[in-house]
């Protein structure tokens, strides 16, 4: 088996996927935008071959690099785990007749309106949505569905580029920001009230073999727009309870409807007055280090499990469900550079045994905007056997540890 992995060097956690692949005993090659020296020695020395390209989303360059790698050994798998790389890898797979995620599935997992159409056809409940190519389209959707509404790029990840609008004036402004009048097509959806979470799997041959459920506190759009909030992401160890039965069933339906085969998945959902609703899914792992939380919560090497799924189409690992695990993002009190922290020592004294790790950039580090996400500035990751206790601990950290900037 010869597996080619796309971009092992950046972002940094890509190295974990490469490490997992190397642990399987298969021949592993890599294609990167960076030189081989960007990898640690142990990973670099384990590679069968290495190709550097200007851009891994340049499909011609990616295909030519795969062809060069195939001269020494036939390429059996071409894998990408970064959202922006998934479509290019799928197109090259089909061009070179390599087994794996198809370009149709990759497209359905990127294009929000098409994704929801496929999910609805598979019997999955979704928010009302449409493809918008003009302000007239947007206004017609608003007339039918009412406000508030959500506008987002077709292939946006998380809350990137997303706007919530409450009236016609805000709708026009959002369309201007998203450049709809300049010919850009965007997605429009009814706004769903309720709690937001996500359901992730490692699926093999269309079936989840490992799965995980997480909760956002507060919902993503609010978390990514409000500086004073220290938002949390928490992975529960109660997923096998009756409470998550419908979420897991929905996940399986969506995976089938979109034709996802052997791949990680990351599915967002809402639960509120209108019931459980599907939001979106990616045929790739979640971001912001969530797989590290799954590893810590379940005493499992999920990166190696993924690699075995790719190489062997079976996963010789099980989740312990021993812990819940979560992270709390800590925002600077203003833009500038970090001057100091308050409350770190009391946090360590009170919760030290439950802390997985923390990221506290040193004084003098430039701050990043709130919209930069959960890991943009400081954060703390923790685990505990009891979900409710963990949530209270993360809340206490967010209330007492302060990032001061000047």
pLDDT score, position 26 = 98
E strand map for 207-317: 207-217, 232-235, 263-272, 275-282
Q: What is the mean pLDDT of residues 112-134?
A: 93
> pTM score > 0.85 for this model?
yes
Stated as kind and residue range, the H or E segment containing 39 is none
Asked if residue 139 and residue 56 are part of one domain, the reply reads: no
pLDDT score, position 312 = 96
Asked if residue 339 and residue 274 are part of one domain, the reply reads: yes
Residue pair 251/199 in contact (Cβ under 8 Å)? The answer is yes
Closest CA to 405 of 347, 328, 331, 348: 331
Task: Provide, rounded to the nearest whole percent, the portion of the chain with pLDDT above 70.
Answer: 99
Give CA angle at 177 (176, 180), nearest 5°: 50
**Strand 186-190, strand 149-153: pairing:** antiparallel
321 belongs to a structural domain: yes
Q: Where is pLDDT greater, at 162 or 212?
A: 212
Residue pair 124/257 in contact (Cβ under 8 Å)? The answer is yes
| 40-54 residues labelled b (16+ CB within 10 A) or e (exposed) | eeebbebbbbbbbbe
Residue 141's domain is classified under what CATH number?
A: 3.30.1490.20
Q: What is the mean pLDDT of residues 12-19?
A: 96
Residue pair 294/325 in contact (Cβ under 8 Å)? The answer is yes
Stated as kind and residue range, the H or E segment containing 192 is none
Instruction: Report residue 251 as tokens.
Output: 């996940």
The predicted-structure confidence for 243-275, as pLDDT tens digits, reads as follows: 999 999 999 999 999 999 999 999 999 999 999
Q: How many domains does the chain have?
A: 3
Q: What is the mean pLDDT of the chain?
A: 95
The predicted-structure confidence for 329-383, as pLDDT tens digits, reads as follows: 999 999 999 999 999 999 999 999 999 999 999 999 999 998 888 999 999 999 9
Provide the residue range defining the domain that includes 306: 195-405
Residue 369's domain is classified under what CATH number?
A: 3.30.470.20
Asked if residue 309 and residue 254 are part of one domain, the reply reads: yes
Asked if residue 345 and residue 239 are part of one domain, the reply reads: yes
Asked if residue 136 and residue 82 are part of one domain, the reply reads: no
293 belongs to a structural domain: yes
Asked if residue 224 and residue 287 are part of one domain, the reply reads: yes
Q: What is the mean pLDDT of residues 225-244?
A: 95
316 belongs to a structural domain: yes
pLDDT score, position 166 = 95
Q: What is the mean pLDDT of residues 110-136?
A: 93
- Residue 158, pLDDT > 60, answer no
Residue 205 pLDDT grade (very low, low, confident, very high; cuts 50, 70, 90): very high
- What's the half-sphere exposure (Cβ side, CA atoms, 13 Å) at 367? 19
């Amino acid at each position: 088996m010869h597996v080619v992995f796309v971009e092992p060097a950046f972002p940094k956690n890509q190295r974990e996927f490469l490490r997992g692949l190397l642990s399987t005993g298969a021949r592993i090659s890599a294609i990167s935008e960076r030189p081989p020296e960007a990898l640690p020695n142990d990973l670099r020395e384990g590679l069968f071959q290495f190709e550097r390209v200007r851009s891994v989303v340049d499909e011609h360059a990616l295909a030519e690099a795969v062809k060069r790698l195939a001269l020494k050994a036939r390429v059996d798998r071409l894998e990408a785990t970064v959202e922006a790389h998934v479509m290019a890898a799928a197109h090259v797979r089909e061009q070179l007749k390599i087994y794996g995620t198809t370009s149709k599935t990759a497209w359905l997992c990127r294009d929000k309106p098409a994704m929801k159409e496929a999910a609805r056809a598979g019997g999955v409940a979704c928010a009302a949505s449409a493809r918008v190519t003009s302000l007239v389209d947007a206004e017609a959707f608003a007339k039918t569905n009412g406000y508030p509404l959500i506008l987002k790029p077709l292939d946006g990840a998380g809350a990137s580029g997303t706007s919530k609008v409450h009236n016609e004036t805000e709708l026009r402004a959002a369309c201007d920001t998203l450049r709809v009048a300049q010919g850009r097509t965007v997605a429009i959806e009814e706004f769903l009230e309720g709690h937001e979470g996500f359901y992730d799997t490692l699926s093999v041959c269309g079936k989840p073999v490992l799965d995980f459920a997480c909760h956002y506190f507060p919902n993503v759009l609010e978390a990514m727009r409000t500086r004073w909030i220290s938002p949390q992401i928490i992975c529960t160890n109660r997923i096998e309870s009756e409470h998550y039965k419908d979420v897991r069933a929905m996940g399986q339906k969506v995976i089938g409807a979109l034709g996802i085969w052997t791949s990680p998945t990351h599915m967002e959902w809402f639960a509120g007055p209108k019931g459980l609703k599907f939001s979106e899914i990616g045929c790739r792992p979640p971001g912001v280090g969530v797989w590290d939380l799954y590893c810590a919560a379940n005493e499992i090497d999920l990166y190696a499990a993924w690699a075995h799924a790719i190489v062997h189409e079976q996963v010789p690992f099980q989740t312990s469900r021993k812990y819940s695990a979560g992270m709390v993002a800590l925002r600077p009190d203003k833009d500038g550079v970090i001057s100091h922290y308050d409350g770190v020592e009391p946090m360590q004294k009170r919760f030290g045994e439950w802390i997985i790790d923390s990221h506290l950039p040193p004084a003098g580090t430039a701050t990043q905007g709130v919209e930069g996400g959960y890991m943009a500035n400081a954060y703390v990751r923790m685990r505990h056997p009891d979900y409710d206790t963990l949530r209270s601990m993360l809340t206490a950290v967010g209330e007492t540890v302060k990032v001061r900037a000047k």
